[in-house]
Amino acid sequence: MPQDLAATKLTPKPKTPKRRYYPNGNPEHGYNPEGVRNTDSALPPEPRRPVMHDYACDGPAPGRIAFRWIHGSTVAATNTDPRIQIIQYNEDTFVLRQNVCVHWEAPFTYLLFGNKGALLIDSGATANADHYPLRDTVDAIIKRWAKIRGRTKVPLTVALTSGEDVAQNQGMRQFAGRPDTVIVPKPLAAMKSFYGLLGNWPQGTGRIDLGDRVISVIPTPGAHIDGVSFYDPYCDFLFTGDLLFPGRISIGNDRDFVASLERLKAFASANPVTSVMGGHIDMMFAPGQFYPRFRNFKPYERTLEMGPELIEEALIYAREIQGQDKMLIRPDFVLFNGVSPDQRTREWPEGVPRISVPRPF
């Protein structure tokens, strides 16, 4: 036997070094930008034990919404797009949008995961699951997420930014009777009690603990009497529903509306906010231009995300029109106070460029 072959056979197999366990992915792989939390990019597809995520790291979780939303059709009946568009912002955060041809408001819902459960914020404008299969869609996302995380059960909480907003509360019916599901009640008093806000509405702050990812619940009436906003300290998102979004904002009570924006401004000053995530998009990419109601073809929409500086801008102009029946146009939103959402005005705001939008083809 050759000497080198004998030596090879006698050489013991080197021991495999123990790998360090990274709950949020291996930072040495370079998947994540420097200075941000680690994602689950490096996790095995079927872990042998439940994966616990660290939500307490510094900085916002990475994620992107760099794409164009499905924007409907000129004839809704001929539309063949998915009934719900799903975007995975990151491994624990999903953005869902109802097809604009199913309902012209095309509301957004948000699905957030923590170590002990999930939260669905808002439920869309259609109760019929054949037209708007929200529960089936959420169940499919949860099933896939649970498999990746090594879970057999993921409790779900369904909450609304407003129980009286028919464009966001209809899909909740689909979750009635769903196992391992808590539905935040719609009646105002019951909702306040659920969040522990009966004695300090609207000044207090509630919480929903998803397991190390604790969502703050901020009372924000004004567009609706029961309005609340949700703050996610993992992505640094502020979910504001109808209170502040890139579109036609109908003010129900201008005093409450101003007070809620003041509350959000103070909250954003004390907590990092990267984006305000509203419930709809009405604005076009051209400043101050917006789609009228009942339009089911919106090819020139503005982006969903709003910078936190727009809280201050909305507050300034809400104070300006407080006590007046007026429509006021801004580049990123339009305020309607005491007037119809179909109101028209010839007053174009000073300093806002007036850009003609191309005719859709």
| Domain assignment of residue 38, yes or no | no
Minimum mean pLDDT among 22-36, 69-83, 134-148, 234-248: which range?
A: 22-36
Range of the domain at 214: 76-337
Q: How confident is the model at residue 297 (pLDDT cuts 50, 70, 90)?
A: very high
Q: What is the pLDDT of residue 16?
A: 43
State yes or no: pLDDT of 198 exceeds 60. Answer: yes
The partner residues of 238 in beta bridges, in order of sequence, read 231, 276
Minimum mean pLDDT among 60-64, 66-70, 285-289, 294-298: which range?
A: 66-70
Query: Do residues 259 and 294 make contact, with C-beta atoms less than 8 angstroms apart?
Result: no
State yes or no: pLDDT of 4 exceeds 90. Answer: no
Q: What is the pLDDT of residue 8?
A: 45
161: domain CATH number?
Answer: 3.60.15.10
CA dihedral 41, 43, 45, 51 (to 10 degrees): -120
| Domain assignment of residue 144, yes or no | yes
| Domain assignment of residue 54, yes or no | no
Q: How confident is the model at residue 361 (pLDDT cuts 50, 70, 90)?
A: low
Q: What is the rounded CA–CA span in Å between residue 169 and residue 135? A: 13
| Domain assignment of residue 5, yes or no | no
Q: What is the pLDDT of residue 344?
A: 84
Number of domains comprising the chain? 1
Distance from the first to the final alpha carbon of the chain: 80
Query: Is 177 or 48 the better-scoring residue by pLDDT?
Result: 177
Q: How confident is the model at residue 23 (pLDDT cuts 50, 70, 90)?
A: very low
| Domain assignment of residue 16, yes or no | no
Query: Is 347 or 286 the better-scoring residue by pLDDT?
Result: 286
Spatial CA neighbour of 43 closest among 64, 57, 29: 29
| Domain assignment of residue 61, yes or no | no
Q: How confident is the model at residue 21 (pLDDT cuts 50, 70, 90)?
A: very low
Q: What is the pLDDT of residue 66?
A: 65
Instruction: Report the DSSP pairing between strands 108-113 and 118-121.
Output: antiparallel
State yes or no: pLDDT of 13 exceeds 50. Answer: no
Instruction: Report the DSSP pairing between strands 275-278 and 237-241.
Output: parallel
> What is the tens place of the pLDDT at every residue in 39-68?
554 455 667 788 888 888 677 888 888 667
Minimum mean pLDDT among 16-20, 106-110, 282-286, 287-291: which range?
A: 16-20
% residues pLDDT > 70 (the chain): 86
